[in-house]
Structure 1
Amino acid sequence: MDQQSKVAVIGAGVMGEALIAALISSGVKPDHITISEKREDRAQELISKYSIKAAALNANISDADALLLVVKPQDMASVLEEIKGSINPKAVGITFAAGKTISFISNRLGTSNPVVRVMPNTPTLVGEGMAAASMGAGVTAEQREFVLGFLGATGKVIEVKEELQDAVTATSGSGPAYFFAFVEAMVAGAKELGLSEQDATTLTIQTIVGAAKLLDESGKSATTLRENVTSPNGTTAAALASFENEKMKSIVAKAMKAARDRSQELA
C-alpha cells in the first residue's frame, strides 16, 4: 500500500475524524479518502473541512484498499453483515471497536480479507494518542507498514499480540477517563480547602500537564520523580501516606481489571 491507496472510513464521529486527519498527515491524499456517514450534515462538515469524499457504504468499500471500521461495538455485526458482499477482496480491514476480535470480524465478513485490530484512545483527537495494533493472518508487510504509519501520525503506536488487547483497553483505551476522574477529585479537594473553582481548576490542570511533560521529557521514571518531590515527613509524604493507607494501587489495579473483564465480555 502507498499514498495512492484508497481508504474507506466507516463512521465519522470524533475518532473517525481524528483518523482522517492522521491519514492525511501520513501522506494519503484527501481525495483518496471516502467516508460513509448516515448523518448528512456531519458528512458535509468533514467534506468541507478535509476535502475528502462521501459515498454510500457498499459503493465506498467496493474498491477501497483499506477499510477503517470506526463504529460502536454494538453496531459492528450489522455493519459487517451489510458490507460482506461488496468488500474489495484485496482490502485490509482495520477495526477500532473495543472488545471485537479479529476472528469476530473475519467470521462475520465471511471473506479472506486480512484484519488488523486497533485500540486507540481519545488524545488521538489532539495528536497525542496511544494506539496498539494487532495484525491478523494474511496482513502483508505493506499493509502493516501503512497501518502503523498513519497511526503514528496520531501520537504513538505499539504492536501487541491480540490476546493482550483487552489489557491495552484497560490501560490506554480507558486510561484517559481515569486521569479525568483524578483531576475532578483534585479540583473538588482543592475547593474543600477553600480555593475557588476557577483557581482550583487552573492549579490542578497545570500541575497535571506539567507533571506529565516532566515525566515524558526528563527520561526519569515515575518512581524517581515521585521520590525527588517527596521530602521525609513533608507535605507530599503526608499525602502519599494517605493514598497508601487507602490502598490506591489496589484500587487502580482492581479498576483496570474491571475494564479488562468488560472488554472480554464485549467480544
Structure 2
Amino acid sequence: MLTETGIASMQICFYGAGSMAEAIARGLIHEKLIAPGKISMLNRSNADRLHELHERYGVQTVLQGSSNERYLREADIIFLAMKPKDAAEAVSAIAPLLSPNQLIVSVIAGLSIASLQQLIGPVQPIVRTMPNTSSTIGLGATGISYSEQVTPQQRLVTEAMFQSIGINAVVDESLQNAVVGVSGSGPAYVYFFMEAMLKAAGDLGLAPDIAKDLVVQTVLGAAQMVKETGESPEELRRKVTSPNGTTQAAIESMTQAGLQEAIIKGMLRSSERAAEIGAAIERSINE
C-alpha cells in the first residue's frame, strides 16, 4: 500500500516514553508498518526505561549512541507524548530543532493545536489526537484532528498509524474534549462498573476467581453483541429484559439509584476537566 510504503521509509521519534508512546510504537512494529530501528524514543532522565524499550522492541534511544537532538532533527514524524504539566516547557525547548516538513502528532490531553502553534510556529503541520489505554492491546479508540497545514498524504499516514492500535475517528478539534469524555476516559468507567459487579458478586457468595471470570466474559460478550449484531444497546437491553423478570427488577433498581444520570454527569465532567487542563497549559504558555 502507498500509505504503508510511505511510513516504512520514515523516521519516527517519540518525545516521551510512557505507556501510550509504547502502545503506539508496539502497534507500528507489530503491524510491520515500520522497522524498529527507524523508531526513536526519548525521555528526560529514565535510562532504565529506555533500556527496557530497546530490549523489548529494538527501538533506538540515546543509549544506542545518538543524541536526543539528532533524533528530533532527523525525524519525519514526532510524537509529543509527555505529561500535560510538562508540555509547554518541553515543546518550547525542542521548537528550535524542528522544520516545517516534520509532522507533529500530539497525544497530550487538553493541548490545543493553537497552543502548539504558539509554541512551535504557525507553519508546522500538527495532528491532535486522543487515544485511550486500550491502545496497549490494539483495541484503542482515537479521536484525530488536523491543522490546515497537514497534507493529504500526512493524513493517510496518521490514520494508518492509529489503525495499528485500534479504530480512529476524525473529528473537528472543537470535539476533542468530548472524545476525552467518551473514549479517552471511557475504559475507566467500564472498569468502575466491573468493580461494582465484582463486589456484588462477592456479596452474593461467589468466589473471587469465579466472579471475575463471569464479570469479564459478560462485559466482553455484551460489547461484542453490540458490535456484531449492529443493534443498539437499547434494543439489545429490551430483548433481554422480560416483563417482571430479574433483569427488569435490576434495571429499575439501578435507574432509581440514579445510575444513568451519574454516568452522563461523570462523562460531562471528564470533558469539562479536559478543557480545564487545556486552559491551564495555555496560561503557562502565556505567562
What is the TM-score when the length of structure 1 is the normalising length? 0.96
In structure 2, what is the equivalent of residue 86 of structure 1? 97
Q: 1: distance between equivalents of 2:106 and 2:126?
A: 7
User: Within the alignment, does 1:11 sit opposite 2:16 as a pair?
Assistant: yes
User: Within the alignment, does 1:43 sit opposite 2:50 as a pair?
Assistant: yes
Give how far 1:135 is off: 0.5
Q: 2: distance between equivalents of 1:81 and 1:232?
A: 61
In structure 2, what is the equivalent of residue 2 of structure 1? 7
| 1:15–1:70 CA contact under 8 A, matched in 2 | yes
In structure 1, what is the equivalent of residue 246 of structure 2? 235
Specify whether residues 179 and 261 from structure 1 end up closer, same or farther in structure 2 by C-alpha distance, changes over 3 A only. same
User: Within the alignment, does 1:29 sit opposite 2:32 as a pair?
Assistant: no
The C-alpha deviation readout for 1:219-254, integer Å capped at 9, x for no partner, is: 221111111111100000000111221232211111
Gaps of 5+ in 2: 1-5, 279-287
Within the candidate set 200, 205, 213, 2:224 is matched to 213
Amino acid at match of 1:10: Y
User: Within the alignment, does 1:52 sit opposite 2:63 as a pair?
Assistant: no
Aligned residues: 267
The C-alpha deviation readout for 1:126-176, integer Å capped at 9, x for no partner, is: 010000100012000111111100100101011000000000000000000
**Percent same amino acid among aligned pairs?**
34
User: Within the alignment, does 1:261 sit opposite 2:266 as a pair?
Assistant: no
| 2:100–2:125 CA contact under 8 A, matched in 1 | no
| 1:215–1:222 CA contact under 8 A, matched in 2 | yes
Gaps of 5+ in 1: none
Q: Is the deviation greater in 52-61 or in 255-264?
A: 52-61
User: Within the alignment, does 1:251 sit opposite 2:256 as a pair?
Assistant: no
Give how far 1:181 is off: 0.3
In structure 1, what is the equivalent of residue 283 of structure 2? none
In structure 2, what is the equivalent of residue 117 of structure 1? 128
Amino acid at match of 1:251: A
| 1:10–1:69 CA contact under 8 A, matched in 2 | yes
In structure 1, what is the equivalent of residue 199 of structure 2? 188
Q: 1: distance between equivalents of 2:69 and 2:120?
A: 13
Q: 1: distance between equivalents of 2:165 and 2:139?
A: 6
CA RMSD of aligned residues (A): 1.3
Amino acid at match of 1:234: G
In structure 2, what is the equivalent of residue 202 of structure 1? 213
Amino acid at match of 2:221: G
In structure 1, what is the equivalent of residue 25 of structure 2? 20
| 1:26–1:149 CA contact under 8 A, matched in 2 | no
Give how far 1:76 is off: 0.7
Q: 2: distance between equivalents of 1:195 and 1:249?
A: 26
Give how far 1:111 is off: 5.5
Q: 2: distance between equivalents of 1:132 and 1:41?
A: 31
SS of equivalent residue, structure 1 residue 213: helix
Within the candidate set 157, 167, 170, 2:168 is matched to 157
Q: 2: distance between equivalents of 1:261 and 1:83?
A: 29
Give how far 1:211 is off: 1.3
Amino acid at match of 2:33: G
Q: 1: distance between equivalents of 2:32 and 2:83?
A: 25
SS of equivalent residue, structure 1 residue 156: strand
Q: Is the deviation greater in 214-223 or in 5-14?
A: 214-223
Q: 1: distance between equivalents of 2:271 and 2:20?
A: 21
Q: 1: distance between equivalents of 2:183 and 2:32?
A: 22
Give how far 1:196 is off: 2.2
In structure 2, what is the equivalent of residue 106 of structure 1? 117
Amino acid at match of 1:93: I
| 2:9–2:34 CA contact under 8 A, matched in 1 | yes
What is the TM-score when the length of structure 2 is the normalising length? 0.90
| 2:162–2:168 CA contact under 8 A, matched in 1 | yes
Q: 2: distance between equivalents of 1:136 and 1:88?
A: 16
In structure 2, what is the equivalent of residue 173 of structure 1? 184
